[in-house]
Amino acid sequence: MKDSTLTRLTGLTGALAAAALTLTACGSGDPLDSANGGQDNGGPSAGEPIVVGSQDYYSNEIVAEIYAQALEGAGQEVERQFRIGQREAYLPEIEAGSIDLFPEYTGPLLKYWVPDTEATRSEDVYSELQGSTPEGLRVLEQAPATDQDAYAVTQEFADEHGLETIEDLQKVDSQMTMGANSEAENRPNGPKGLAEAYGVEVGFTPIEDGGGPLTVKALTDGDIQIAIVYTGDPSITKNGLKVLEDTEGLFLASHLIPLASDNVGEEAAEVIDGVSAALTSEELLELNGRSVDEQLPAATIAEEWLAEQDL
């Protein structure tokens, strides 16, 4: 999902290096395949599987496995290269053609290629990202699901004050306190940013666990009223939290999005777009929850979810 919010392991595995060599060998096949693009039905060249990769993060691996199984169900040959590392490690491999399909996140991916972008809202980020991908790559349809920083309140607090969006916080007539890592106090999405973007003044309490269990406990105990959390964190559902809609683009939009190479033909792309359309934030929370609470492998979670969705 996102380098600014989730820890990734760095470095490429030996398996990835071996896969790159294998793909290089595959690229030296029949020149007739190259002459016609190797795609007579919207799929990859004969003998070339679609290589699906993932970050070393359980949520990202689950989505990558969903991609892989959906493609296999549609008759595509797939090779998996999962649990790679940080964006700085795997994106060069994608750009070099060693990986064909990867679950990415719109905002952080755009920031990687366009560091000075001013886009933050969902559609603005997606539009600029479409025009910023390197040659040989493209982004498919973004999913409704996000995995990004956001403001959360308890459902009880939301019901009491009629809260759906961050702007609705203006209706709260009592003192509110925000809880987050200490550096958030002076960041654009901290109390100062909330005041500038939405005209809402709040206090601040530093809680050094990155929106983890200490932050959630402070929120549910009433010690704070607003917390910065990750929208893909299963604790949102488990603790009855409400994520407030960010209508002003205070937070950088980070929707799940498939990053695809030219080896992903139109038929394969249609399969993945169908998966993305079904991946809502609620579905992603459920998938992540099964990994955390039930300790199920990504392959099992993916298989059962695809069956439920009839994909």
Is 221 found in the same domain as 116? no
pLDDT of residue 8: 35
Q: What distance in Å separates the CA atoms of residue 125 and residue 104, rounded to the nearest whole number? A: 13
- Tell me what the mean pLDDT of segment 235-262 comes to: 97
Cβ-based neighbour number of residue 10 at 10 Å: 11
> Residues 65, 90: one domain?
yes
Cα distances (Å, whole numbers) of residue 100 to 19, 106, 110, 268, 270: 12, 17, 18, 11, 15
In whole numbers, what is the pLDDT of the chain averaged over residues? 88
Q: Residue 103 has what pLDDT? A: 98
- What the block records as the tokens of 286 is 């459920």
Task: Tell me the CA end-to-end span of the chain in Å, nearest whole number.
Answer: 23
> What are the residues whose beta carbons fall under 8 Å from the beta carbon of 225, sequence distance 6 or more?
153, 157, 172, 176, 177, 178, 202, 219
Residue 144 contacts residue 192 (beta carbons within 8 Å): no
Q: Whole-prediction pTM value?
A: 0.83
Residue 3 resides in a domain:
no
Q: Is residue 160 part of a domain?
A: yes
Q: CATH code at 102? A: 3.40.190.10
**Cβ count near 274 (within 10 Å):** 15
> In the predicted model, is pLDDT for residue 21 greater than 70?
no
148/146 Cα distance (integer angstroms): 6
Q: What is the mean pLDDT of residues 246-255?
A: 96
Give the CA count within 13 Å in the CB-facing half-sphere of 218.
25
| The two structure tokens encoding residue 98 | 């060693």
46, burial (CB in 10 Å: exposed 0-12, middle 13-18, buried 19+): middle
Mean pLDDT of 100-122: 97
Number of domains the chain contains: 2
Position 306 scores a pLDDT of 98
Percent of the chain with pLDDT over 90: 84
27 has pLDDT over 60: no
Rg over alpha carbons for the chain, rounded to the nearest Å, is 21
Same-domain pairing of 142 and 171: no
9 within a domain of the structure (yes/no): no
57 shares its domain with 138: yes
In a domain, 7, yes or no: no
Query: Is position 296 within any domain?
Result: yes
Last residue of a domain, which of 220, 243, 266?
243
**Domain encompassing residue 233:** 149-243
Same-domain pairing of 162 and 53: no
Q: Report which of residues 1 and 275 the model is more confident about.
A: 275
Domain assignment present for residue 8? The answer is no
Last residue within a domain, chosen from 212, 243, 274 = 243
